[in-house]
Structure 1
Amino acid sequence: MNDILKALAGGLAGACVVTAVHETVRRLNPDAPRMDVLGMRSISKLMHKADLTPPQDKEKLHTWALVGDVVSNSLYYSMAGTGKSAWWRGAVLGAAAGAGAVLLPGPLGLGEEPSNKTTETQALAIGYYLLGGLVAAAVGFALRDDEDE
C-alpha cells in the first residue's frame, strides 16, 4: 500500500472517530459541541450563495453535514501521514482543528453557541479534534513501512 493510501486510511479513521464521538456525546451531554449544527448551517449558507435550495428535511441536511464532515476531516487528517512523525503532525492538526472549531464559527457567520456554549463545550470540541488527529497518527504509524522507523 503506498504512503498516500496509508495516510488517507489514517485520515478516514480519525474522521470517523471524531464524528462518532460528536454524535454519541451530543446525545448524552447538553453542553456537548454541536458541530453537526455548524455543518448544517454551512451547507445551507453555501447553497444559498450558489442560488440553490438546501434540503428542507432536517434529517437529510443532518446526513449531508455528517458526510461532509467525514469527507473533509478525512482529507484534513490524512496530512498526518505515516511513520514516526505522524504523531506530532496528527497532534498539531488535531489541536489546530479544535482551535478552529472554537474560534472560527462566529466570524464565519455560523453562530458561536454550537462550539462555544460553555467552557466545557469548548474543551470538548478541542479534545474531539485532537483525538481525531491522534487516531489518524496512530493508523499512519501502524501502517508505516519498515524504512520509516
Structure 2
Amino acid sequence: MKTASSSSLVQALGSGLAGALVLNVVHETVRHLRPVDAPRMDILGERGLRRLLFKANAPQPGPAAAYGLTLGGDVLSNGLYYSLVGTGPGVWWRGVALGLAAGVGGVVLPGPLGLGDGPSNRTPQTKAMTVAWYLLGGIVAASVSAWWNKSGPRQPR
C-alpha cells in the first residue's frame, strides 16, 4: 500500500519530469526551426559536460555521445529541479517562480560560469525564448501536479 508521502514523491517527480520533457521538446524543435536565434542549451550542456570530464581526466565522448549524454542529463536535472514544484497548495506560484528563475539563470549564468554567452544570450529573441521556455516547463510541472491532486486517490479526512 502506498503511503501519502510516497504518493507525493511520485507526484512531484512525475510532474517535474513532465515539465522537463516539454522544455526539451520545445528546445529541440525550435532550434531546428529557428537556427539563427533559438537558444542552444544543448551547446551549453555539452560545454559543461566536456569541462567536467576534462577536469576529471576522463575521456571525451564523440559528438553524438556528448549530445545524448547532455540531453539525458538535461531531462534528469530539469526533472529534479521542476519536481520542487511539488504537491499541495501553491503549485502554480512555485511553478512560475521556478520557471522564471531557471530562465533568467539560463540567460545570466553561462557567461560567468565560463560556458559562453552566445547559446542563450545572442539576441533579445534568444533571451526571451530562453526565459519563456523554462517558464513553460514550470507551468507544465504545476499543471500536472494540480491535475494529479484533482484526479488522484482521495485520502480520508
- TM surpasses 0.5: yes
Instruction: Describe the SS at the equivalent of 1:143.
Output: helix
Partner in structure 2 of residue 103 of structure 1:
108
Alpha-carbon distance in structure 1 between the residues aligned to 2:23 and 2:63: 21
The share of aligned pairs that are identical, in percent, is: 51
Aligned-pair CA distance for 1:82: 1.7
Of 100, 110, 120, 1:115 maps to 120
Aligned-pair CA distance for 1:84: 3.6
What is the one-letter code of the residue matched to 1:35?
M
Partner in structure 1 of residue 63 of structure 2:
58
Task: Give the alignment's TM-score, normalised by structure 1.
Answer: 0.95
Alpha-carbon distance in structure 2 between the residues aligned to 1:143 and 1:5: 10
1:37 aligns with 2:43: yes
Instruction: Describe the SS at the equivalent of 1:31.
Output: coil
Task: Give the alignment's TM-score, normalised by structure 2.
Answer: 0.90
Larger Rg: 2
Output one character per residue of 1:32-52: Cα deviation in whole Å (capped at 9) or x when no partner. 000000000000000111111
Output one character per residue of 1:85-114: Cα deviation in whole Å (capped at 9) or x when no partner. 111001000000000000000000000000
Equivalent residue pairs, number: 146
Partner in structure 1 of residue 148 of structure 2:
143
Aligned-pair CA distance for 1:83: 2.9
Aligned-pair CA distance for 1:60: 1.2
Q: Runs of 5+ in structure 2 lacking a partner? A: none
Of 66, 73, 81, 1:76 maps to 81
What is the one-letter code of the residue matched to 2:140?
V
Output one character per residue of 1:5-49: Cα deviation in whole Å (capped at 9) or x when no partner. 101000000000000000000001020000000000000000111
1:49 aligns with 2:55: yes
Q: CA RMSD in A?
A: 1.2
Q: Please, which moves more after superposition, 62-71 or 83-92?
A: 83-92
Instruction: Describe the SS at the equivalent of 2:135.
Output: helix
Aligned-pair CA distance for 1:121: 0.1
